C-alpha cells in the first residue's frame, strides 16, 4: 500500500468530504464542512499561495494539510502548514510526506519561515522536533456545553449602548471590517497581521459559508461599532466563536462579555448544543472571560516554527 500526496480537487466532492472527515476526527474542536473547505481554497487571496493537500492511501484520504503564505503579514515570507492525520491511520508516512510537500511549496514561493500548529502530545511534538521545528507558544481549545450549561443571564445594555447582529450590517459591512481590522492587531500571534484588503475580507470572512451573521453579536456605543463576537456554525448543532474583540477606545467596560453573552444565548436559542473557541495560553483576560461563561479547556496545541533554508 502506497501513500501519495496531491492537491485537493475543489470540483470533486469526495476530496472535500475526505478532508473534512479527517479534520473532524483529528481536530474535533474546530468546524469544517466540505463546502467551507472548497470556499477557503477557491476564495483564497492570490498572494496567499494557498493549497489544500491530501495524503491518500488506496483511494482513502488519511491525511490533510493547509499550506500558504500569511499575505496579511507586515513581514514577508511568513508561511504556515498545519498537518493532521486520521487518528487510526498514523505510522504510514502520511504526515512526513505532507510536511515535505508543504515545505517544498513554501520554499518555491519565497517562504522563509514556516509556522505550524501541533496537537500537544509527546508523539506529535517529537515528530515536529525531529524535523527541526522549535516550540514557540501554545494555545487552548475550549468547549462549552450549551445544552446543559448555565450561561450568565442576558444583560441589559447601559444607556448609549446597543446590541445588534452582523445581519443588521448586510447593506454595508464596512464598519465591521474596520472593527475586525483594529482588534486583530492586538491578538497574540507569532505573525503581525494587518487587514487592509476589504474585498478579501468580504470573500474570506463575510461570505464564508460557516459565518453566521445572525449569531455574530455587535455592540454599538452611541451608534458606533465598539465590540463584537464573531460566530460560525457547521449547519448542525455545533457553534464556534472565531474572534471576540473590543476597539481600543472602548476597552475596560465589559463590552466583549456583553457581545459574547448575547451571541451564546442566541446560539442556544437557535438549537446549538456545543460551543467551541480558542485562546492563546498567555491571554489571561480572555481565558478568564471564557471560564466565566463556563468553557473548559479540552485540548492544547503548540506552535512550532522552522526557518526554511
β-pairing, 274-280 vs 238-246, is parallel
- The stretch 287-303 carries a mean pLDDT of 95
DSSP states of the chain: --EEEEE--TT-HHHHHHHHHHHHHH-TTS---HHHHHHHHHTS-GGG--EEEEEEETTEEEEEEEEEE-TTBSSTTEEEEEEEE-TTSTTSSHHHHHHHHHHHHHHHTT--EEEEEEES-HHHHHHHHHTT-EEEEEEEEEEEETTTS-PPPP-PPPTTEEEEEGGGGTT--HHHHHHHHHHHTTS--SS-B----HHHHIIIIIT-TTB-TTT-EEEEETTEEEEEEEEEE-SSSEEEEEEEEE-GGGTTSSHHHHHHHHHHHHHHHTT--EEEEEEETT-HHHHHHHHHHT-EEEEEEEEEEEE--
Q: How confident is the model at residue 196 (pLDDT cuts 50, 70, 90)?
A: confident
Tell me how far apart the alpha carbons of residues 131 and 114 are, in angstroms, rounded to a whole number: 12
Cβ atoms of 72 and 194 within 8 Å: the answer is yes
Q: What is the pLDDT of residue 97?
A: 98
CATH superfamily of 144-299: Gcn5-related N-acetyltransferase (GNAT) (3.40.630.30)
Intra-chain end-to-end CA distance of the chain, in Å: 32
What's domain 3-111's architecture?
3-Layer(aba) Sandwich (3.40)
- Which of 180, 178, 162 lies closest to 255, judged by CA? 162
Neighbouring C-beta atoms of residue 208, cutoff 10 Å: 17
Tell me how far apart the alpha carbons of residues 65 and 74 are, in angstroms, rounded to a whole number: 24
- The stretch 173-182 carries a mean pLDDT of 96
Predicted TM-score (pTM) of the model is: 0.93
Whether 3-111 shares its CATH topology with 144-299 is answered yes
- The stretch 232-239 carries a mean pLDDT of 96
- The stretch 126-136 carries a mean pLDDT of 96
Place of cell 481554497: 41
Q: What is the pLDDT of residue 134?
A: 97
Residue ranges per structural domain of the chain: 3-111, 144-299
- The stretch 118-125 carries a mean pLDDT of 96
Q: What percent of the chain has pLDDT over 70?
A: 99
Q: For 36-54, how does the pLDDT look when each residue is reduced to its tens digit (9 = 90+)? A: 999 999 999 999 999 999 9
Half-sphere exposure of 201 (CA within 13 A, CB side): 17
Give the CA diameter of the chain. Answer: 67
Amino acid at each position: 500500500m502506497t501513500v501519495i500526496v496531491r492537491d485537493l480537487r475543489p470540483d470533486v466532492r469526495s476530496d472535500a468530504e475526505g478532508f473534512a472527515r479527517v479534520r473532524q476526527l483529528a481536530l474535533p474542536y474546530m468546524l469544517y464542512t466540505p463546502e467551507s473547505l472548497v470556499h477557503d481554497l477557491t476564495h483564497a487571496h492570490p498572494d496567499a499561495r494557498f493549497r489544500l493537500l491530501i495524503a491518500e492511501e488506496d483511494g482513502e484520504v488519511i491525511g490533510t494539510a493547509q499550506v500558504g503564505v500569511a499575505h496579511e503579514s507586515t513581514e514577508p515570507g511568513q508561511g504556515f502548514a498545519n498537518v493532521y492525520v486520521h487518528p487510526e491511520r498514523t505510522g504510514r508516512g502520511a504526515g512526513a510526506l505532507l510536511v515535505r510537500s508543504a515545505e517544498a511549496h513554501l520554499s518555491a514561493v519565497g517562504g522563509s519561515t514556516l509556522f505550524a500548529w501541533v496537537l500537544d502530545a509527546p508523539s506529535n511534538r517529537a515528530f515536529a522536533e525531529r524535523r527541526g521545528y522549535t516550540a514557540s507558544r501554545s494555545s487552548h481549545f475550549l468547549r462549552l456545553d450549551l445544552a446543559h450549561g448555565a450561561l450568565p443571564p442576558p444583560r441589559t445594555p447601559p444607556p448609549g449602548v446597543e446590541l445588534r447582529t452582523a445581519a443588521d450590517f448586510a447593506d454595508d459591512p464596512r464598519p465591521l471590517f474596520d472593527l475586525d481590522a483594529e482588534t486583530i492587531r492586538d491578538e497574540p500571534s507569532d505573525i503581525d497581521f494587518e487587514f487592509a484588503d476589504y474585498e478579501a475580507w468580504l470573500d474570506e470572512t463575510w461570505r464564508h459559508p460557516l459565518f453566521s451573521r445572525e449569531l455574530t453579536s455587535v455592540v454599538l456605543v452611541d451608534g458606533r461599532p465598539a465590540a463584537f463576537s464573531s460566530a460560525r456554525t457547521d449547519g448542525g448543532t455545533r457553534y464556534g466563536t472565531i474572534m471576540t474583540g473590543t476597539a481600543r477606545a472602548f476597552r475596560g467596560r465589559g463590552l466583549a462579555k456583553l457581545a459574547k453573552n448575547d451571541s451564546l444565548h442566541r446560539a442556544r436559542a437557535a438549537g446549538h448544543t456545543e460551543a467551541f473557541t480558542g485562546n492563546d495560553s498567555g491571554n489571561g483576560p480572555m481565558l478568564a472571560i471564557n471560564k466565566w461563561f463556563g468553557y473548559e479547556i479540552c485540548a492544547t496545541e503548540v506552535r512550532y516554527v522552522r526557518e526554511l533554508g
